[in-house]
Structure 1
């Protein structure tokens, strides 16, 4: 395990191809959104990974064979105490949500570990082979009808995923790109959570070919229902047809469409941290996805650089279709 925060940040750097302005803005927005939820006594849990078989698939329609991994954080000696692994009502709600929409879900937590044994992945250099070590093991668990964890064999979970043959496609980007003394990287608990989140994906990707999408977090409404959240920090754009509007990239739009494409009356939330030209906070806004699809423009536009560094395609939603986040939360 990372024996200090610097090791954990270096691991994150190896896994993030682009540490651009959008990436940093997104992480800051998540931190501030969680602070907002905690200050307003709104129950939430961190999100997870939605995975499906990658290329050279064993099955005809890989995108129909999705699984979800919800990482549970463990503490490091340098990260402070924090919340320990447990089956909370919020975790159960998120787990049940995925079960309802037809995605087999697993809770992922570390086995016993030794911090000093952690090693970073390394690219091939000269005669030195590439290395993608898994310094410790993860346990994959379902929740039984009695509410207890039950372990599931790793090979059984990924039996429809092609096994990786070689290191092609594994991530090992340059380290030293993050100023570790600056906000938000000086937040030990945040770095711990980001580490566990990325390690869960890395652990599986070393063995299998897979495609993955992340889920920011779940909000648990007063009714007890769970709502997956897509969160962005944005300044409103404007045009003559829609007036002021916010964009949602095509990938997250498809992801949220999946969450609502069933007969269980499930829904999702798009939350916007509205900022001005100087990145000063303006307001928290939100919209249910079932309302978003009724009000969005059917004509998309080319977007800017996404968090992964590539170009994006954007769906436009009028700002007037959003509500103040505080007003929407009491209705969930």
Structure 2
């Protein structure tokens, strides 16, 4: 494990695109949303990674092979508290049960005897040096057995349909020095630790297999007991003559939320927007159920802004008038 908080932040920098600041902005919005939910006495569960076989693949319909990875945590020496350990927390059990009910193979990514002194940072190729993508310690895949205890499952079995990676092709390592440790939340050990383990789980298994991944930041539990996966964006409202003020939702997240609702359990999902002014100042937390979003949004996509990879995104317009104040929406869930 990283021996210092600084090393943990450096690892995160290597994993988050340096083409623009979108990823880091999204992480900061997620931290603020968790704070808002806690203040409003709203229970929320941990997120995870939903992965499918990446290219080259030999499956006719690769998305049918979805696997959900739920990262667990282990305490660092520079933390005063934190780290899941055993037994499973109620939030972890809730997340595991939710994704299993959706028909997704679901496993915990559990650190096995991590050793801080063995940690090494990934490094890009430079001059005659080849790219360096170490696996400084081991993660085990685990599922809940019939006795309620965690049981290890071989990754070769879980990812048998995922093509094996040949060398470092397709692996990326981004620039360091983009995050200031002097500013919150990067100086908070618990927040950084949770972010580290979340990213390391994807990094670890992606080194051996070609996989395409989508992240789920969190889900909230309403007063009714229903779970709602959350898609979160921080953005300024756009204006058009036909719709007035509107927010866009990219086609990728739109499809992801559609997947969460396309089942016989009558599940729903939430699209949450942290509205900001043109200068970046906070305006309000807004939210809309996905089943209401599809009724209100335009059915024709249009070009959006620049995504995290630098490519132009495609979005659907959702009128701002269709959203509710998140503080008022949460008690109705």
Q: Normalising by structure 2, what TM-score?
A: 0.95
Provide the secondary structure at the position in 2 that maps to 1:330.
helix
Change (3 A) 1:76 1:19: farther
Change (3 A) 1:83 1:36: farther
Map 1:195-274 → 2, pairs under 5 A: 195-274=196-275
Map 1:156-195 → 2, pairs under 5 A: 156-195=157-196
Report the RMSD for the aligned CA atoms in angstroms: 1.6
Tell whether the 8 Å contact from 1:238 to 1:244 is kept in structure 2 after alignment: yes
Offset at 1:227? 1.2
Q: Which range moved further: 263-272 or 76-85?
A: 76-85
Q: For residues 238 and 273 of structure 2, what CA distance do their matches in structure 1 show?
A: 13
User: Could you tell me which residue of structure 2 aligns to residue 31 of structure 1?
Assistant: 31
Query: 5+ unaligned residues in a row in structure 2: which ranges?
Result: none
Provide the secondary structure at the position in 1 that maps to 2:30.
helix
Q: For residues 70 and 280 of structure 1, what CA distance do their matches in structure 2 show?
A: 33
User: Could you tell me which residue of structure 2 aligns to residue 124 of structure 1?
Assistant: 125
User: Could you tell me which residue of structure 2 aligns to residue 53 of structure 1?
Assistant: 53
Provide the secondary structure at the position in 1 that maps to 2:74.
coil
Offset at 1:45? 1.9
Tell whether the 8 Å contact from 1:106 to 1:142 is kept in structure 2 after alignment: yes
Tell whether the 8 Å contact from 2:46 to 2:91 is kept in structure 1 after alignment: no
Tell me the matched-pair count. Answer: 332
Q: For residues 130 and 309 of structure 1, what CA distance do their matches in structure 2 show?
A: 22
User: Could you tell me which residue of structure 2 aligns to residue 18 of structure 1?
Assistant: 18
Q: Tell me, yes or no, if structure 1 residue 42 matches structure 2 residue 45.
A: no
User: Could you tell me which residue of structure 1 aligns to residue 81 of structure 2?
Assistant: 81
Q: Which range moved further: 205-214 or 217-226?
A: 217-226
Q: For residues 5 and 329 of structure 2, what CA distance do their matches in structure 1 show?
A: 37
Q: For residues 81 and 309 of structure 1, what CA distance do their matches in structure 2 show?
A: 38
Q: For residues 132 and 25 of structure 1, what CA distance do their matches in structure 2 show?
A: 25
Provide the secondary structure at the position in 2 that maps to 1:208.
coil
